[in-house]
Structure 1
């Protein structure tokens, strides 16, 4: 699977805006002061571990990381 791009998806219906993803992967996720979640949908190869950590730590399991 090496060489394929990473894709991050957030299920906004499940996300409760705890911002744990932002703590785990601050380069990929940002919770704005007004409660909107911004995230990188196509992270770089060197950000795989950050994306996986954010998905693993999300208490609502709202983050999915796939190779495309």
Structure 2
């Protein structure tokens, strides 16, 4: 039998009670996070594999510690 490739799935969540919309996550991962015209934050909940490092940078840079990643195999 051939070896199975393990697929990982990374999801992101933002705690809206903690988030102050400084926009640092947008600077770190603009393809994952964006600010809306009314001051809200939109983001992709499922992170494409090639953008996981950007998502991790957004988590590290959030001064309010409002972003969490969940990496499952």
TM-score, structure 2 as length reference:
0.87
Indicate the residue corresponding to 1:14 in structure 2: 18
| Structure 2: gaps spanning 5 or more residues | 1-5
Instruction: Give the Cα separation in 2 of the matches to 1:65 and 1:56.
Output: 11
Aligned length: 67
- Quote how far apart the aligned CAs of 1:67 are: 1.0
Larger Rg: 2
Q: What SS does the aligned partner of 2:70 have? A: strand
1:11-63, CA deviations, whole angstroms, 9 ceiling, x for partnerless residues? Answer: 00000000000000000000112111000000111110000000000000000
Indicate the residue corresponding to 1:47 in structure 2: 51
Indicate the residue corresponding to 2:60 in structure 1: 56
Instruction: Give the Cα separation in 2 of the matches to 1:33 and 1:23.
Output: 16
TM-score, structure 1 as length reference:
0.93
CA RMSD of aligned residues (A): 1.0
